[in-house]
Amino acid sequence: MPPLRTALLQSSGRPGSVAANLDVLEEAAAQAAASGARLLVCPEMFLTGYAIGDDVARLAEPADGPAAEALAATARRHGLAILYGYPERDGGRVHNSAQLIDAVGGRLANYRKTHLYGEFERERFTPGDRAVVQADLDGVRLGIMICYDVEFPENVRAHALAGTDLLLVPTAQMRPFEFVAESVVPVRAFENQLYVAYVNRTGPEGPFDFVGLSCLAGPDGTAAARAGRGEELVLGDVDPRVLAASRAANPYLGDRRPGLYTDLTG
């Protein structure tokens, strides 16, 4: 099975303008596809911008809304899958969500952020209630979570136990928490024996200053690809053969003693 070339779009796009962000994504998709990528991952809330205040509710769309249709067309044009962050409207509720579109425009999976960070998010979003959402792409099992979710070790371990090979984490990670991108994410990949694509916004936006540092972390605990602080498209390969060899050599999951951990469910 060939490696899954994955493109990480580190960008804050154009906050407040869905049309402009669709244009940014179109250009990134063309560049990613020309570089051999079969998957493009965008940051948290890429469709609308993150620090947009009450416009979150105004710009929220259902999972099958106009933006999803536009993104499906982009995916078909360039022949690659796309994961994008957006505010999802479901009746009277709004979720901080990420949706995966396949290379022929089908909607593969939709994930709602389960751990909301800070007053800004808790005032505007309803948390999701499914920790593990997965989809298969070109023989690789993908899992999805968003930003703060990856900082809870139980979350990532649940994905490892469910067979996730590549965990996609669109994020809006800000100063002064650079250590999450630099240290926590590679450790999560190592201790759970999977790849993690952590894709961040960058630069100042409202009261926040996003730090970039997007990465594709491998099961050896190193970043196979790493962005700097500015807008950038980074590519890296998710290699099933490397993953299988690493899992065979690393005993973490097999050496677990779940009976000792029952207190952790409290």
Q: Domain of 213: which CATH number? A: 3.60.110.10
> Catalytic: 147?
yes
Residue 77: pLDDT above 90? yes
More confident residue, 45 or 263: 45
**What is the reported pTM?**
0.97
- pLDDT the model gives residue 266: 61
- pLDDT the model gives residue 140: 98
Look over the chain and give the mean of its residue pLDDT values, rounded to a whole number.
96
What would you report as the CA-atom Rg of the chain, rounded to the nearest whole angstrom? Answer: 17
Which among 42, 61, 113, 205 is annotated as catalytic? 113
- pLDDT the model gives residue 221: 96
Per the domain annotation, does 170 fall within a domain?
yes
> Catalytic: 42?
no
- pLDDT the model gives residue 262: 84
Tokens of 262: 């029952």
- pLDDT the model gives residue 264: 76
Which among 88, 121, 147, 215 is annotated as catalytic? 147
Q: How many C-beta atoms lie closer than 10 Å to residue 202's C-beta?
A: 23
**Three-state secondary-structure class, residue 198:** strand
Task: Kindly report the length of the chain.
Answer: 266
Which among 44, 61, 88, 205 is annotated as catalytic? 44
Classify residue 266 by burial, with Cβ atoms within 10 Å: 0-12, 13-18, 19+: exposed
- pLDDT the model gives residue 261: 87
Average pLDDT (49-74) is: 97
Per the domain annotation, does 258 fall within a domain?
no
Average pLDDT (232-260) is: 95
Residue 265: pLDDT above 80? no
Average pLDDT (114-140) is: 97
Per the domain annotation, does 263 fall within a domain?
no
Per the domain annotation, does 59 fall within a domain?
yes
Per the domain annotation, does 130 fall within a domain?
yes
Per the domain annotation, does 137 fall within a domain?
yes
- pLDDT the model gives residue 27: 98
Q: What is the extent of the structural domain holding 236?
A: 4-253
If one counts the domains in the chain, the total is: 1
Helix 153-161 and helix 185-192: axis angle, to 10°?
Answer: 40
Contact assessment for residue 41 and residue 6, using Cβ atoms and an 8 Å cutoff: yes
Residue 240: pLDDT above 80? yes
Residue 199: pLDDT above 80? yes
Per the domain annotation, does 265 fall within a domain?
no
**Under 8 Å CB-to-CB from 137, ≥6 apart: which residues?**
4, 38, 39, 81, 100, 102, 108
> Locate tokens 């594709």: which residue?
216
Residue 122: pLDDT above 70? yes
Per the domain annotation, does 71 fall within a domain?
yes
> What percentage of the chain has pLDDT greater than the value 70?
99
Residue 94: pLDDT above 70? yes
